[in-house]
Amino acid sequence: MEIPANEKAAILAQALPYIKRYAGKTIVVKYGGAAMVNEGLRAAVAEDLVLMAAVGIRAVLVHGGGPEIDSMLRRVGKEPVFVGGLRYTDEETMEIVQMVLAGKVNKDLVGLLGRAGGKALGLCGLDGGLLSAARMGKGGAAGGQQSDLGLVGDIRAVNADVLRRALDGGYVPVVATVAGGLDGDPNSYNVNADTAAASIAVALGAEKLVLLTDVPGILRDLGDSGTLIKEMPRSGIEALVREGILSKGMIPKVECCARAVDGGVGRAHIIDGRVPHALLVELFSDAGIGTMIS
C-alpha cells in the first residue's frame, strides 16, 4: 500500500466522529444485488459488517436471494414464474425458497462473516417467531384483479427478542426472509426482503435502514448520475411518485424507506452496492453516498 502509515492513522482519526456517533446504535442493512453476487464485493461487505460490529454498531443483515432460488428451481426441473414482479410460490417452490434462503445463502453468509473475523448468527423469520406473515390478500394494495401468488406473505408481526439477544451477545444477526404463519398456520411464507428489513428496523428502533442496490441512489434523470438526489425529506416522496420521476423498480424501495421513517427509524438510505465498502463510505465519511431519506 502506497499510503504511508501515519496518513492512514490520520484517516482513522478522521473516522472518529462517525464511530462515536454510531456506537451502540442499530443499523439494519438490506443486502442484495451485485454486492451479493460479486465475490470481491461480498468480501468487502463482510469486512464492513465486522468492522461495524467491532466499533460497537449493532448491525443486522437482511437478505433475499432471487438468483440462487431460480437456479435451484431449475435444478429440480421447475421454471421460475413471476406475476407482476412477484414470484409465484406454490408449496414446492416455497420448500425450495426456504431451503435456499435459510440453508444455503444465509449460512454461507454466516460462514463468510466468520472467516472475516466476525461472530454471525443465521436466522430466518421462523426462529423465535421473528417474522409472522399472512398470505398476501387477493384484491390487496395494488387493487383491481390481483392474481393469487400462493405462499407469498405480508408481514403481520415482528418479535425482535431473538435479534436483541444476539446483538447483546455481540453477534451480527443474518436474516433470511422466510416468515412463519400466524396462529398455528404451519405454512412458511416468502416475504419481500426490502419490506422485511424495514419491518425489522422499525421493531428494533433502528437508527438507520440501508438498502444496498445496483443504482447510485434516486436520480432525477435515470440516464444522468449527476442528477442524484443526495437528501430528501420523507414528505417529498409522494411528489416524486406523482411526477413519475421514480422508476418502477425504485418505487417499492422508496416506499420501504418511507415505511421505516414513519415507524421511527432515523434515516433510510438507498446506496450503490457496486461501490466497494459502500457501507463504510456511507457511515464513516462526511459525504455519505446515495440518497438519504429522513
In the bound complex, what is the minimum distance in angstroms from residue 2's beta carbon to a copy of itself?
A: 10
- Which residues in the 238-257 window bind a copy of itself by CB under 8 A? none
Q: Is 25 in the site for a copy of itself (CB under 8 A)?
A: no
- Return the HEC string of 188-227: EEECCHHHHHHHHHHHCCCCEEEEEECCCCCECCCCCHHH
In the bound complex, what is the minimum distance in angstroms from residue 30's beta carbon to a copy of itself?
A: 19
With CA atoms as reference, report the closest residue to 188 among 196, 177, 197, 203: 177
In the bound complex, what is the minimum distance in angstroms from residue 14's beta carbon to a copy of itself?
A: 7
Are the CB atoms for 231 and 257 separated by under 8 Å?
Answer: no
Three-class SS of residue 232?
Answer: strand
DSSP 146: P
Q: Is 141 in the site for a copy of itself (CB under 8 A)?
A: no
Q: Is 16 in the site for a copy of itself (CB under 8 A)?
A: yes
In the bound complex, what is the minimum distance in angstroms from residue 190's beta carbon to a copy of itself?
A: 13
Cβ atoms within 10 Å, residue 171 = 22
The one segment of 81-89, 198-206, 234-242, 270-278 that binds a copy of itself by CB under 8 A? 270-278
With CA atoms as reference, report the closest residue to 136 among 98, 68, 84, 201: 84
Nearer to a copy of itself by Cβ, of 151 and 166: the residue is: 166
The one segment of 49-57, 221-229, 234-242, 258-266 that binds a copy of itself by CB under 8 A? 49-57
Q: Is 8 in the site for a copy of itself (CB under 8 A)?
A: yes
Q: Is 228 in the site for a copy of itself (CB under 8 A)?
A: no
Q: Is 94 in the site for a copy of itself (CB under 8 A)?
A: no
Residue 202 has, within 13 A of its CA and on its CB side, a CA count of 20
Nearer to a copy of itself by Cβ, of 150 and 173: the residue is: 173
Q: Is 126 in the site for a copy of itself (CB under 8 A)?
A: yes
In the bound complex, what is the minimum distance in angstroms from residue 151's beta carbon to a copy of itself?
A: 13
- The span from the CA of 269 to the CA of 216, in Å, is 11
Q: Is 79 in the site for a copy of itself (CB under 8 A)?
A: no
- The span from the CA of 98 to the CA of 141, in Å, is 25
Q: Is 15 in the site for a copy of itself (CB under 8 A)?
A: yes
Please name the amino acid found at residue 115.
Answer: R
- Which residues in the 181-200 window bind a copy of itself by CB under 8 A? 184, 186, 188
Q: Is 127 in the site for a copy of itself (CB under 8 A)?
A: yes
Residue 188 has, within 13 A of its CA and on its CB side, a CA count of 20
Cell of 56: 460497537
Question: Which of 98, 177, 192, 291 is the binder for a copy of itself (CB under 8 A)?
Answer: 98
How many amino acids of this chain bind a copy of itself (CB under 8 A)? 77
Q: Is the C-alpha dihedral spanning 94, 257, 276, 14 positive or negative?
A: negative
- The span from the CA of 14 to the CA of 101, in Å, is 38
Nearer to a copy of itself by Cβ, of 76 and 142: the residue is: 76
Cell of 8: 492512514
Q: Is 28 in the site for a copy of itself (CB under 8 A)?
A: no
Question: Which of 29, 69, 178, 261 is the binder for a copy of itself (CB under 8 A)?
Answer: 178
- The span from the CA of 89 to the CA of 66, in Å, is 12
